[in-house]
Amino acid sequence: MRDSEVLYLIGPGASLQDFDVSEIGDNPTLNFSGTMDWFYDNNIYPSYWCFIDPFTVEVFLKHLEKHTERHPWLLEMRKHTTLLYNDFQGTDKFYDEGFTTSQGPQWNRERFGGYYFPLLKQYLKESISIKSKPVIEDYSLLNGGDLCPVVKHPEYGKNTDKFTSYVLPLAIHYFPNLKEIISIGFGDYDTPRAYTTNAHGYEGFKLSYQTLGPLVKNILDIKNIDIIFKNRNSHYIDLEI
């Protein structure tokens, strides 16, 4: 699957619920963060899963603990889903590099790194640590080498757009033969996230994208990768041009 020329990126936006899952066919999917309800509802599994906020994992596992009817589906995930995670996740380096979670550094190290992360891996086919380097508004690592950039802004605390700073760099880095990215559920900033009433962070993502959008578009052009947004009102639609 890593050699695929086509990749479906699955995001948390509400438009996800209008997408015909049969269109994916045999192509691999990379799911970002907390969109597992959609996979469960369609009785399918992501090929790959990624997240940047470790609290996503606690929410996912506690949700499954509450909904015991989903346990058979969860057990089958061991046959299908590979986790792609940054090598600093679950360690003190996560905070040392300037990343945060609402639960604090001790929770990140002890509860996530020491308990939830190992527990999650038991339910997955494989867990692959990606050698990563946080960088400031720079995508040049994607031009070659073994390090995956996680892009940040120089301003401390600025809400970084996860699609262009994290998801796209990971996809471009991990899938070396990519020719086409098909995006579903990213950039739906007129409605709350799927399965929630949560629209937190949208304005910050838009502001971040003003800087990161042209930079990631340049990398897509250099790598000769086309991107298509199934949600035609996506905030990122100009990346198609």
In a domain, 153, yes or no: yes
The C-alpha R_g of the chain, in whole angstroms, comes to 17
User: Has residue 173 been placed in a domain?
Assistant: yes
Residue 120 covered by a domain: yes
Which alpha helices (H) appear in 42-116, and where do they start and end?
55-66, 71-76, 93-96, 105-106
H or E, element range at 136: strand 132-136
Query: Comparing 85-94, 110-119, 177-186, 193-202, which segment has the lowest mean pLDDT?
Result: 193-202
Q: Inform me whether the pLDDT recorded for 34 exceeds 90.
A: no
Residue 175 has pLDDT above 90, yes or no: yes
* Cβ-count burial 121-136 (b if 16+ within 10 Å, e if not): eebbeebeebebebbe
Which one-letter amino acid corresponds to residue 84? L
Question: In which element (H, E) is residue 41 found?
Answer: helix 36-41
Q: What's the pLDDT at 209?
A: 97
What pLDDT is recorded for position 65? 86
Tally of domains within the chain? 1
Instruction: Tell me the average pLDDT across 7-36.
Output: 95
Asked if the model's pLDDT at residue 44 lies above 90, the reply is yes
**How are the residues of the chain apportioned to helix, strand and coil, as percentages rounded to the nearest 5?**
40, 15, 40
Asked if residue 75 belongs to a domain, the reply is yes
Percent of the chain with pLDDT over 70: 100
Cα separation, 235 vs 238, whole angstroms: 8
Q: Mean of the per-residue pLDDT values for the chain? A: 95
Q: 1 in a domain, yes or no?
A: no
* Residue in 47, 3, 51, 41 with CA at minimum distance from that of residue 25: 47
State pLDDT tens for residues 126-167.
999 999 999 999 999 999 989 999 999 998 778 899 999 999
Task: Report yes or no on 81 lying in a domain.
Answer: yes
Cα separations (Å) of 139 from 148, 166, 212? 9, 11, 9
- What mean pLDDT do residues 43-54 have? 96
Residue 240: the pLDDT is: 96
133 phi, psi to nearest 5 deg: -140, 115
Is residue 115 assigned to a domain? yes
Residue 76, in any domain of the structure = yes
Range of the domain at 99: 6-240
Identify the residue whose tokens are 């899938």. Answer: 175
> Does the pLDDT value for residue 43 go beyond 80?
yes
235: domain CATH number is: 3.90.1480
The pTM assigned to this predicted structure is 0.96
